[in-house]
């Protein structure tokens, strides 16, 4: 839809003056409005906005036996309250390629050892899900002089 807007497709109408900044503001407002909190392993609340969750989406663990911090994709200081031992943390790190690939081949062998998983040399790029980056990368409109109404 952004490409259609950039090329001035008449099906895309925006009544404001600056779609890019309007989208950025709407994203920021809605991200702040859509917050959750979880209790970390130290029983302290950790608040996250939609934007926080989006940036850590592929770090979120799918293993119900991982500490809560790993299940919410924590890193840095936030991750220090995780009580999982070093072997569990090695599994979490080794499983990153599995988390990065939302789809797997039908006959994919996921029953592998920790060492085999850690040795995988086929890095997987997760799908692009960064909505804010998409908005920030919006190009200027074709033929836009700044004087005409946008989207008309």
Which of 3-12, 44-53, 134-143 is predicted least confidently?
Answer: 134-143
Do 58 and 99 form a contact (C-beta atoms < 8 A)? yes
Work out the average pLDDT over 130-145: 80
Around Cβ 130, how many Cβ atoms within 10 Å? Answer: 13
Per-residue pLDDT at 16: 75
Number of Cβ within 10 Å of residue 87's Cβ equals 9
Q: Answer whether residue 152 shows pLDDT above 50.
A: no
d(Cα 67, Cα 65) in Å, to the nearest integer?
7
State the pLDDT at residue 125: 82
Looking at residue 117, what is its pLDDT?
Answer: 76
pTM confidence score: 0.75
Report, as an integer, the average pLDDT of 110-131: 78
Structural tokens at position 120: 């995988």
> Which one is predicted more confidently, 8 or 147?
8
Which is more confidently placed, 81 or 108? 81
pLDDT at 61 over 60: yes
């Amino acid at each position: 839809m952004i490409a259609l807007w950039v090329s001035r497709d008449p099906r895309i109408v925006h009544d404001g003056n600056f779609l890019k900044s309007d989208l950025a503001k709407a994203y920021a407002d809605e991200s702040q409005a859509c917050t959750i909190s979880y209790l970390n392993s130290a029983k302290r609340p950790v608040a996250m906005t939609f934007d926080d969750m989006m940036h850590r989406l592929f770090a979120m663990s799918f293993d119900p036996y991982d500490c809560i911090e790993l299940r919410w994709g924590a890193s840095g200081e936030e991750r220090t309250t995780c009580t999982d031992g070093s072997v569990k943390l090695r599994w979490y790190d080794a499983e990153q390629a599995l988390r990065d690939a939302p789809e797997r081949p039908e006959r994919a062998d996921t029953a592998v050892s920790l060492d085999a998983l850690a040795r995988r040399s086929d890095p997987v790029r997760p799908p692009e899900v960064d909505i804010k980056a998409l908005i920030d990368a919006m190009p200027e409109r074709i033929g836009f002089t700044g004087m005409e109404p946008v989207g008309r």
